[in-house]
Homo-oligomer: A and B are copies of this chain.
Amino acid sequence: MLSSGLLPVDPNPVDGVEPLNKCLAAVDLGGTKIYTALADSRGKLLAETRVPTNPGEGMEAVIRRIAGTVEEVYNSGGAGRDICCLGMGVPGPVDPETGVLYQAPNLGWRDVHLKKILQKRFAVPVLVDNDANLAALGEHTFGAGAGERNMVYVTVSTGIGGGLILDGKIYHGASGGAGEVGHMVVEPMGPLCGCGKRGCLEALASGTAMAARAREMAGAGAGRAILAEAGGRIEDIDAGAVAAAAGRGDEEALEILWGAGRALGMGLANVVNLLNPGLVVLGGGAMNAGKPLWETMEEELRSRAMPGALERVKVVPAALGKRSGLLGAVALAMGGRPPGDFPQ
Q: B-contacting residues of A (Cβ < 8 Å)?
A: 93, 102-103, 148-150, 162, 164, 166-167, 169, 171-181, 183-188, 195, 197, 266, 269-271, 273-278, 303-304, 306, 308-309, 311-313
Residues in chain B near residue A312, CB distance under 8 A: 174-175, 177
Could you list 25 A-B pairs, sorted by A, with CB under 8 Å? Answer: A102-B308, A150-B173, A150-B174, A173-B275, A173-B277, A173-B309, A174-B278, A175-B276, A177-B276, A177-B309, A178-B274, A178-B275, A179-B274, A179-B276, A180-B273, A180-B276, A183-B273, A183-B306, A184-B270, A184-B274, A185-B266, A185-B304, A197-B304, A271-B274, A274-B275
Residue among B93, B171, B187, B306 making CB contact with A167, cutoff 8 Å: B171
Q: In the complex, A179 Cα to B274 Cα: how many Å? A: 5
Residues in chain B near residue A269, CB distance under 8 A: 185
Residues in chain B near residue A150, CB distance under 8 A: 173-174
Q: Given A195-B306, A273-B184, verify A171-B175 contact (CB < 8 Å).
A: no
Q: In the complex, A185 Cα to B185 Cα: how many Å? A: 9
Contact B197 A303 (CB under 8 A): yes
Contact B277 A174 (CB under 8 A): yes
Residues in chain B near residue A172, CB distance under 8 A: 276
Return A155 CB to nearest CB of chain B, in Å.
15
Residues in chain B near residue A309, CB distance under 8 A: 173, 175, 177, 180
Contact B188 A274 (CB under 8 A): no
Q: Would you list the 6 A-B pairs with minimal beta carbon distance, nearest first? A: A173-B276, A174-B278, A177-B276, A178-B276, A175-B312, A180-B273
Q: In the complex, A144 Cα to B281 Cα: how many Å? A: 35
Contact A188 B187 (CB under 8 A): yes
Q: In the complex, A172 Cα to B266 Cα: how many Å? A: 22
Q: Which residue of B lies closest to A269 (CB)?
A: B185
Residues in chain B near residue A164, CB distance under 8 A: 274
Q: Which residue of B lies closest to A270 (CB)?
A: B184
Return A332 CB to nearest CB of chain B, in Å.
17
Contact B185 A270 (CB under 8 A): yes
Q: Which residue of B lies closest to A311 (CB)?
A: B175
Contact A176 B276 (CB under 8 A): yes
Q: Which residue of B lies closest to A171 (CB)?
A: B166
Residues in chain B near residue A169, CB distance under 8 A: 167
Q: In the complex, A312 Cα to B173 Cα: how many Å? A: 10
Q: In the complex, A303 Cα to B311 Cα: how many Å? A: 34
Contact A93 B308 (CB under 8 A): yes
Contact B308 A177 (CB under 8 A): yes
Return A224 CB to nearest CB of chain B, in Å.
30
Return A173 CB to nearest CB of chain B, in Å.
3
Contact B270 A174 (CB under 8 A): no
A177, A269, A271, A303 — most chain B CB neighbours (10 Å): A177
Return A172 CB to nearest CB of chain B, in Å.
7
Q: In the complex, A186 Cα to B267 Cα: how many Å? A: 10
Residues in chain B near residue A278, CB distance under 8 A: 174
Q: Which residue of B lies closest to A307 (CB)?
A: B195
Return A300 CB to nearest CB of chain B, in Å.
9
Residues in chain B near residue A102, CB distance under 8 A: 308
Q: In the complex, A277 Cα to B275 Cα: how many Å? A: 14
Q: In the complex, A243 Cα to B148 Cα: how many Å? A: 45
Q: A167-B169, A175-B311 given; name 5 further pairs at CB < 8 Å.
A: A93-B308, A174-B278, A175-B309, A180-B276, A180-B306
